[in-house]
A and B are shown apart, each in its own frame.
Chain A
Amino acid sequence: MKETKLEIRFFTITEYEKEQEYLRERHQSGWKFVGYTVPCFYHFVKCEPEDVVYQLDYNKDGAAHKDEYVQMFTDCGWEYLMDVLGYSYFRKPVSEMKEDEEIFCDDSSRLDMIGRVFKGRMIPLIGIFLCCIVPQMFRVFHLQDAADRGIFFVFCALLVLYLILFVQFGVQYWRLKKRTER
């Protein structure tokens, strides 16, 4: 039986670049990524250490035409691993590359991907934020007893978490946009 391990890591919606680096480092130290369990469990199997590039794409159109989508990546030498919450995972060993390779070759398509993440993942979050969290905060703000104050603090924490997410997303989008316009 192969040796396996489970790691807990949390990456926010827009931290896919950090996640890619994390998976690559694990593979370099002899742990191959084999599965993910929501919300933050990464499954690995022991393997020969190898430098393998991991990449994430977010493409609903691709998910709807899975066969053709995966075929395009396979043709270019990328192994398709899995889909998690709309993200598709791919990997390719550095030894099979002629030079540094990624699944995107220009900033314009990287920006398109962030746009798709925004539509698919951020807009629903903004919806929850505006329709649930903000109104609830106003509602519990005026209540006096201790239990309600507790709830108020929970909503405060959620508010901060959401704001961090939005700012993170905004910064990443803006950086890439700047790079594209240069």
Chain B
Amino acid sequence: MDAHIKKVYVPMTETGFYILLSLRKEMHGYSIVQQVEEMTGGEVRLSPGTMYGSLSKMEKDGLIAFVREEEKRKIYQITELGIEVLEREMKRIERLYRNMKEAVS
């Protein structure tokens, strides 16, 4: 993983994390917004400017790839590099969670 990717994506924004988590299956931006809203009981509502910016940035950095277009909506899927970044972030969050549990128990 090169320095640029590490600098930008480790650690990751909540938006970035949910995008990668969702794109393990191919889908378009708005379905990510809906899925995340559902997953978090409406607590996390992703905004279109943030989504559009994050998706194009991640596509440019090779974390996700454009699959096809459906009714003016771009469908994306995670790449090998994206999976690598996601797994690293998952480990970080697990460690965070473990330490939190230990500290408060």
Contacts and interface: CB of A to CB of B under 8 A. Distances in A.
Given A61-B56, A112-B57, A106 B50 contact: yes
A108 B56 CA distance: 14
7 contacts: A69-B52, A73-B49, A75-B48, A98-B45, A106-B13, A106-B15, A112-B57
B36 to A, nearest CB: 10
Interface in B43-60: 45-54, 56-57
A105 B47 contact: yes
Interface of A: 55, 57, 59, 61-62, 65, 67-69, 71-73, 75-76, 78, 98-99, 101-106, 108-109, 112-113
B96 to A, nearest CB: 18
Interface in B31-74: 33, 42, 45-54, 56-57, 69, 71-74
Nearest to A180: B13
Contacts of B33: 75-76
The DSSP consensus for interface residues of chain B is helix
Given A61-B56, A101-B45, A108 B73 contact: no
B73 A68 contact: yes
A99 B44 CA distance: 11
Nearest to B71: A71
Contacts of A68: 69, 72-74
Contacts of A61: 56
